[in-house]
């Protein structure tokens, strides 16, 4: 550290804080680098609606198509990975990943991968997802083609374009729509060529915890996001109302899934109710900062567990 001048007499020398650990750690390489860039701890929000939708299609319509289900799962993972990569690139180019950011490392901002490499990786994920979508469109017809195209555009628009969704208060709505209603409904249609209004309720219930993942992310970075010009839902609501919104995202699935019109086996989801309460307490008491990354990952795992228990319950 270079010192311009000595401190005034009688005062202690100023000590600069160390740089973030992500800047000093040995950068990953190869597949580890790209796995990190794809944010594996949140990829489960693409898996949960596929699980729930497949179980629901079998329970309500006695329908399953193994190969389309596998392709749909891979396509969902690729769209989520591509969205994360595009977000990594977009935030870096827009100046959104500044040193005071509290989240996990971002490979573009840290110089671990060039913007062009990250762009190519994101486009590769989207292209592979589109190839899978063509096959799924052949199986499921124009509704699946429309949903797949909308999902790809939304994945790009989340961090791209003149007004990225990630920089507005619509991020949580986007997540519920595409990682809840759209994903669950798309899987059910793909399996059974049919839908019911109960499928919409199920999609909302599965999408709400995914919105909780995004709320945890944006609440953690609230001050930083405000400085770089974002106007996320967490910024619009403020700290106290953000806690209430997170509670709604995490708890509302239970009354939805336990409605009298839903299958009796949905009560099995109550097994994760204590986990939900633990997450709420952690959200309310954990200081914003790196410690919130554990809460974010825990919310994603909670959604996956909720979907798995729902699947087991409706099948039984």
Domain count of the fold of the chain? 1
Residue 289's pLDDT band, with cuts at 50, 70 and 90, is confident
As a three-state string, the secondary structure of the chain is: CCCCCCCCCCCCCCCCCCCCHHHHCCCCCHHHHHHHHCCHHHCHHHHHHHHHHHHHHHHHHCCCCHHHHHHHHHHHHHHHHHHHHHHHHHHHHCCCCCCCCCCCCCCCCCCCCCHHHHHHHHHHHHHHHHHHHHHHHHHHCHHHHHHHHHHHHHHHHCCCCCCCHHHCCCHHHHHHHHHHHHHHHHHHHHHHCCCCHHHHHHHHHHHHHHHHHHHHHHHHCHHHHHHCCCCCHHHHHHHHHHHHHHHHHHHCHHHHHCCCCCCHHHHHHHHHHHHHHHHHHHHHHCCCCCCHHHHHHHHHHHHHHHHHHHHHHHHC
d(CA 192, CA 61): 6
In a domain, 16, yes or no: no
- Cβ atoms of 221 and 227 within 8 Å: the answer is no
In a domain, 12, yes or no: no
Q: In the prediction, which pLDDT does 101 show?
A: 56
Residue 26 clears pLDDT 80, i.e. is over it: no
Query: Which range of residues forms the domain containing residue 146?
Result: 41-315
Residue 20's pLDDT band, with cuts at 50, 70 and 90, is very low
In a domain, 150, yes or no: yes
CA angle, residues 78, 63, 132, in degrees to nearest 5: 20
State pLDDT tens for residues 52-103. Answer: 999 999 988 888 999 999 999 999 999 999 999 988 887 777 665 555 556 6
State pLDDT tens for residues 115-139. Answer: 899 999 999 999 999 999 999 999 9
Q: In the prediction, which pLDDT does 254 show?
A: 97
Burial class (CB in 10 A: 0-12, 13-18, 19+), 86: buried
Burial class (CB in 10 A: 0-12, 13-18, 19+), 186: buried
Residue 30 clears pLDDT 90, i.e. is over it: no
In a domain, 1, yes or no: no
Residue 1 clears pLDDT 50, i.e. is over it: no
Q: Is the dihedral of CA 204, 77, 212, 225 positive or negative?
A: negative
Q: In the prediction, which pLDDT does 96 show?
A: 52
- Cβ atoms of 87 and 159 within 8 Å: the answer is yes
What percentage of the chain reaches a pLDDT higher than 90?
Answer: 59
pTM: 0.85
Q: In the prediction, which pLDDT does 23 show?
A: 43
In a domain, 105, yes or no: yes
Which of the listed ranges 56-60, 252-256, 264-268 does the model predict with the highest average pLDDT? 252-256
In a domain, 156, yes or no: yes
In a domain, 218, yes or no: yes
- Cβ atoms of 215 and 175 within 8 Å: the answer is no
In a domain, 165, yes or no: yes
């Amino acid at each position: 550290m270079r010192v311009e001048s000595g401190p005034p007499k009688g005062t202690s020398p100023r000590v600069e804080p160390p740089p973030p650990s992500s800047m000093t750690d040995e950068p990953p390489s190869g597949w580890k680098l790209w796995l990190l860039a794809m944010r594996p701890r949140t990829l489960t929000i693409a898996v949960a609606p596929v699980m729930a939708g497949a179980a629901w299609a079998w329970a309500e319509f006695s329908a399953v198509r193994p190969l389309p289900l596998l392709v749909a799962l891979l396509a969902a993972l690729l769209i989520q990975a591509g969205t994360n990569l595009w977000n990594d690139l977009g935030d870096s180019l827009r100046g959104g990943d500044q040193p005071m950011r509290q989240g996990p490392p971002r490979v573009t901002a840290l110089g671990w991968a060039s913007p062009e490499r990250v762009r190519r990786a994101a486009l590769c994920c989207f292209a592979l997802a589109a190839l899978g979508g063509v096959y799924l469109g052949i199986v499921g017809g124009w509704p699946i083609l429309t949903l797949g195209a909308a999902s790809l555009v939304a994945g790009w628009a989340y961090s791209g374009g003149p007004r990225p969704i990630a920089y507005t208060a619509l991020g949580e709505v986007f997540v519920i729509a595409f990682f809840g209603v759209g994903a669950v409904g798309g899987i059910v249609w793909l399996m059974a060529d049919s839908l019911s209004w109960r499928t919409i309720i199920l999609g909302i219930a599965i999408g709400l915890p995914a919105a909780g993942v995004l709320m945890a992310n944006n609440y953690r970075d609230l001050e930083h996001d405000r400085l770089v010009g974002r106007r996320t839902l967490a910024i619009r609501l403020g700290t106290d109302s953000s806690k209430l919104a997170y509670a709604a995202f995490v708890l509302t699935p239970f009354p939805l899934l336990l409605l009298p019109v839903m299958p009796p086996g949905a009560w099995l989801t109550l097994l994760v109710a204590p986990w939900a309460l633990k997450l709420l307490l952690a959200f309310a008491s954990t200081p914003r900062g790196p410690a919130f990354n554990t809460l974010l990952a825990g919310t994603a795992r909670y959604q996956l567990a909720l979907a798995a228990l729902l699947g087991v319950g409706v099948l039984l």
